[in-house]
Chain A
């Protein structure tokens, strides 16, 4: 009849145990790695030894050396500098995609779990329809209409991945919404908005895990869009664009550009995906 009065002491958080499990060396390593990657992306322009677009035809296609740790591309631009500048764009794009999609997901999840009934059923139905459309396809359509660049693919992918976030968050929000304390809050005269703040706090572990996980996926997909020429356009440095730009050099025997940019994408995606999975396991939230 109602969920009230079901005493469930077992479900109360056990901070000690969780913290203990979360602090395994493996998790710490992943957190440090991801933190270092984010820091590099933030500080990239300061760390870069050269401007990213300074060409020097006399120093073209150089192998790695002390002056150019990763060598130079066919126009003589320093690859390390381009990699560092590119990190900023790749990470900014991925972060925006994740933040927008998670925020949209949170709003949809809270609204549909709060009202339930018809609202919830409608929202779920609509979400399922959108999930059936591949995100990359949406991005390609958006780029066709709005033209390539930064914003069209970012917004398209953010909207395309919002339904996934919403579907995962909705389940957890619904559990939280039917807890006894939520009803008690309503009876103490607290506004619906504030009560949803409580619910949001309750689902925050899954938001954290989902954000981390989604960041890796977004990084990969945005890189892929730039790789096929729908995202960041040359001469701007971006990892996906660098992978494709290095293609001819690779055939000429200079694989540094493609390899270094590709390696950064792989390392970032793997690090964030593993950390996301780790957080999910540690915080006890299922996919």
Chain B
């Protein structure tokens, strides 16, 4: 395995990932060049509003785009280009190396098969484990995520478990084949707020004990900051800021991130959360201008002439704002 970037070995490396809906002259962009790196055992949060391209990025990684969508750019898993994989290799990637957790466990688990079957089917079918081993591992993992009587849960049907419990089952399913990376698409959004916290803490615990890389897609900035090492903020089909979670939330380097942070309610301060004027830009509506220009309080004429690339700001933080150096201090003050 070789890396040409020179940095630590990337588990997952996405470069200039573009996704288009439709074909030919009708094609509209959905992702406009996403760059993202996940190192082994590292948790990356991907945050952004609905329609910013978070889920589409996950789908593109798994090469599971909806009908009529096409992708270009590079998605490399351990240096191996996913788009070049033959179907057998791809099946091995999906069944054994990358696990997936969905937003709505109820819809993503076949209600007619038992939990035990759901957990063991893929790993047994792919030849990774024998039936007996798979059962043992499933029970072990169920216990790890807090089920007291795993043998009984294995015999239950999804309809007999609550949403929170079912999401834990989903976490176990993702961990079953000992994957190197887990993609989680808003795993707690469909859950009750109290259950959310519980599931999330179990989730981040098992992710750490099993030393699995994580791409965690969420709307929730605070949740992402609390559970991930690094964060990428997406807007209109691009990553506009990336850096350590701590840096992104305390020293934002993009006006959009800073505005997002200011729009959160706070337990500690009495203030009215500040909204962001206007509507989220669509990836399709942006051309040769900063996608956030229309809503940005720091906008200047230069912002409307080029779509700024991600540039290194400080440490390993990157930002796609032309004016970062000048306005950095003001950005941080917004959330002060």
Contacts and interface: CB of A to CB of B under 8 A. Distances in A.
Given A13-B159, A194-B125, A187 B111 contact: no
A13 B112 contact: yes
The 5 closest A-B pairs by CB, nearest first: A189-B95, A180-B107, A189-B94, A188-B122, A184-B108
Interface residues of B, number: 30
B111 A186 contact: no
Interface in B3-41: 21
A12 interface: yes
A171 interface: no
B96 A15 contact: no
Given A2-B66, A181-B108, A189 B103 contact: no
A15 B110 contact: no
A201 interface: yes
B268 to A, nearest CB: 33
Contact of A194 (B108, B111, B121): B121
Interface string B313-333: 000000000000000000000
Interface string B101-113: 0111011111111
B239 interface: no
Interface string B122-154: 100110000000000000000000000000000
B66 A1 contact: yes
Interface in A1-49: 1-2, 4-9, 12-15
A76 interface: no
16 contacts: A1-B21, A2-B66, A5-B107, A8-B106, A9-B106, A13-B112, A179-B107, A180-B107, A181-B110, A181-B111, A184-B109, A185-B110, A188-B100, A189-B92, A190-B125, A191-B91
B173 interface: yes
B62 interface: yes
A202 interface: yes
Contacts of B91: 189, 191
Interface of A: 1-2, 4-9, 12-15, 179-181, 183-191, 194, 198, 201-202
Contacts of B110: 181, 185, 198, 201-202
Nearest to B99: A188
Interface in B152-176: 158-159, 173
B281 interface: no
B64 interface: yes
Contact of B190 (A7, A183, A185, A198): A7
Given A190-B125, A191-B125, A5 B94 contact: no
A181 B190 contact: no
Contact of B108 (A13, A14, A180, A190): A180
Given A13-B112, A198-B112, 11 more contacts: A1-B66, A5-B104, A8-B107, A12-B106, A12-B158, A187-B94, A188-B95, A188-B100, A188-B173, A190-B126, A201-B113
Nearest to A191: B125
A4 B95 CA distance: 20
A9 B158 CA distance: 11
Nearest to A179: B107
